[in-house]
Structure 1
Amino acid sequence: MTTKISNDNGIKQEEKSPEKSPEISKKDLNRLFWRSFQMEFSWNYERQASLAYTYAMIPILKKLYKKKGDLSAALKRHLEFFNTTPHIVTMILGISAAMEKQNATDSKFDSSSINTVKASLMGPLAGIGDSFFWGTLRLIATGIGTSLALKGNILGPILFLLVFNVPHIALRYILTKVGYKMGTGFLKKLQENGTMGNLTFGAAILGLMVIGGMSADMISLDVPLKIGSGESATAVQDILDGIMPGLLPLAAFGVIYWLLGKEVKATTILIGIAVVSILGAWAGIFS
């Protein structure tokens, strides 16, 4: 759209007025929902589910950014590391869609906050999602399905799939809309009154706490060595636990974190973990 204006000499010139950002429709959000299922299939050790996340966002990004440079920057933005429980990822996708829309219309919007919000939410949501879907719903579905299957009932595997997938798909669909509405309303107000930074900072702290708890629970590292002999022998692991429970898992986590800070490739770190674990178990250092 253009408007006619006159300069000091009375000569008419054309000036471009700001383009109105395309609206994100229900159809666009539905496409976001359906594309989110790729989180189960497209995954890698370096950036986890980043490819699937970007794939889900492509239709919305193409609609919002008409310039090649803007679209390229948005695609690169979402190729950063991302990982959370796939069943509730649509909430973060909806928020990202809303923030991308705001970024496309507001020149003062800080585009780096899009990834900040993603990173701060994926940890807490993963803790909730894993506990509910993997730790609760899957066990309930398995119990129902197995009890019927052991009796030769064909409903066993069918009910297992239904009990697990119907709630998960319904919640995945609902969270797409919830995330987008939260992004367009709630996050906009937070940015206007200056509390967006506090929110992202607090969410980041919560996410790190969740990741720390998961690391302590999921990393298993024990030393079976003993000092002395007979009944008076003292287990080295008991000494380490007396100093601080989970000391070895913390040390292992610290070493891996340090290596990542030195930009050592994730594949190299994984190979190193396998080699150290095998050699340590063979030598009797690790149980």
Structure 2
Amino acid sequence: MAETTQAASQITKRDFRSAFWRSFTLMGSFNYERMQSLGFLYSIMKPLKRIYGDDEEGLRAALKRHIAAFNMTCAPSTFVMGISIAMEESFKRDKELDPSTVNSIKVSLMGPLSGIGDTFFWGIFRVLACSLGVAFAQQGNPIAPFILLLVFNIPNVLVRWFGLKLGYTQGSAFLEKLEKNGQMKLVTYCAGIIGAVSIGTMIAMWVSISCPLTFTIGEMTITIQEYLDQIIPKFLPLVCTLAVYGCLKKGMKTTAIIAGICVIGFVLGVTGLVAM
């Protein structure tokens, strides 16, 4: 940690170690509403308590911010944790900053870092670790499972530890530079755009709804889905997502929304109006 950062920071080495070890619980409470948010919040809980101290209202607001949906490859997630801690310190020092920007930054980093993390950890390290483990196992060597675990987890642990420190130190310096240059609003605006694009991409990839209805007029067969795609590609997934978002904004319970989706989906599926 840089000396200037140490001088201005209230975060101790013990707090960093806590965030590091707790980051291994990131997937411990995964759910389809907010995904890794509980694990993320649990990981940075001690640094947040250190930052806000006796400021219960500030701490409560910070906890609410970091319970928002979060999902990315586990190993590089500590980089985002480090940046989040640095931003929370900035919010504590400067009341004029907009605390909601932290979630915009988190969303903007989820996609790029997940792409890098998936490529290295699931596309390279996992394959390499399994290949070496299988090679030793075929020879009857008892160290085969240990080879697999070491080859995969050594880079995993290193990325988690140094990602946390790099995210905090460089994130803090980067934020201070933006504050001095007055470019924080521009970065926040761009991050919001990237976040919106990421959400739109996830809707197109994960929400699969189509209309299989067809009509025959003379010798012409009309497929409703083809016309919907000409108007707006992935129109039905977008409508479904916006409807769910509207229900959440109105305060409806998640269980009620899920039950409604099941009932409506079943009825529309049986009648042939929609297909998954």
- Match among 53, 61, 64 for residue 66 of structure 1: 53
Matched, 1:38 2:25: yes
SS at the partner of 1:220? coil
The 1:45/1:243 distance shift into structure 2, 3 A limit, reads closer
Question: Residues 228 and 234 of structure 1 are in contact (CA less than 8 Å); yes or no, is this contact kept in structure 2?
Answer: yes
After superposition, the C-alpha distances for 1:233-258 in whole angstroms (9 at most, x for unaligned) are 33222222222321211222222222
More displaced stretch, 35-44 vs 164-173: 164-173
Q: TM-score if structure 2 supplies the norm length?
A: 0.78
Matched, 1:109 2:95: yes
After superposition, the C-alpha distances for 1:119-146 in whole angstroms (9 at most, x for unaligned) are 1123232222443444674245665638
SS at the partner of 2:26? helix
Give % identity.
31
Q: Shift of the alpha carbon at 1:94? A: 0.9
Q: Distance in 2 between matches of 1:188 and 1:82?
A: 26
- Match among 68, 82, 86 for residue 69 of structure 2: 82
Q: Shift of the alpha carbon at 1:208? A: 0.8
Question: Residues 97 and 180 of structure 1 are in contact (CA less than 8 Å); yes or no, is this contact kept in structure 2?
Answer: yes
Q: TM-score if structure 1 supplies the norm length?
A: 0.76
Superposition pairs of residues 98-247 of structure 1, within 5 angstroms: 98-104=86-92, 106=93, 108-110=94-96, 112-113=98-99, 115-117=100-102, 119-134=103-118, 137-140=121-124, 145=130, 153=138, 164-228=152-216, 232-247=220-235
Q: Distance in 2 between matches of 1:25 and 1:258?
A: 42
Question: Residues 146 and 157 of structure 1 are in contact (CA less than 8 Å); yes or no, is this contact kept in structure 2?
Answer: no
Structure 2: state its 5+ residue gaps: 1-6
Q: Counterpart amino acid of 2:54? A: K
SS at the partner of 2:76? helix
Question: Residues 138 and 164 of structure 1 are in contact (CA less than 8 Å); yes or no, is this contact kept in structure 2?
Answer: no
SS at the partner of 2:204? helix
Structure 1: state its 5+ residue gaps: 1-19
The 1:163/1:205 distance shift into structure 2, 3 A limit, reads farther
The 1:79/1:100 distance shift into structure 2, 3 A limit, reads closer
Matched, 1:251 2:236: no
Q: State the number of aligned residues.
A: 264
SS at the partner of 1:87? coil
**Aligned twin of 1:53:** 40
SS at the partner of 1:234? strand
Q: Shift of the alpha carbon at 1:157? A: 6.8
| Greater Rg by CA | 1
Question: Residues 212 and 224 of structure 2 are in contact (CA less than 8 Å); yes or no, is this contact kept in structure 1?
Answer: yes
Q: Counterpart amino acid of 1:233? A: T
Could you say what the CA RMSD is over the residues aligned between the two structures, in angstroms?
3.4
SS at the partner of 1:109? coil
**Aligned twin of 2:4:** none
Q: Distance in 1 between matches of 2:151 and 2:113?
A: 16
SS at the partner of 1:228? strand
**Aligned twin of 2:259:** 271
Q: Distance in 2 between matches of 1:170 and 1:29?
A: 14
**Aligned twin of 1:262:** 250
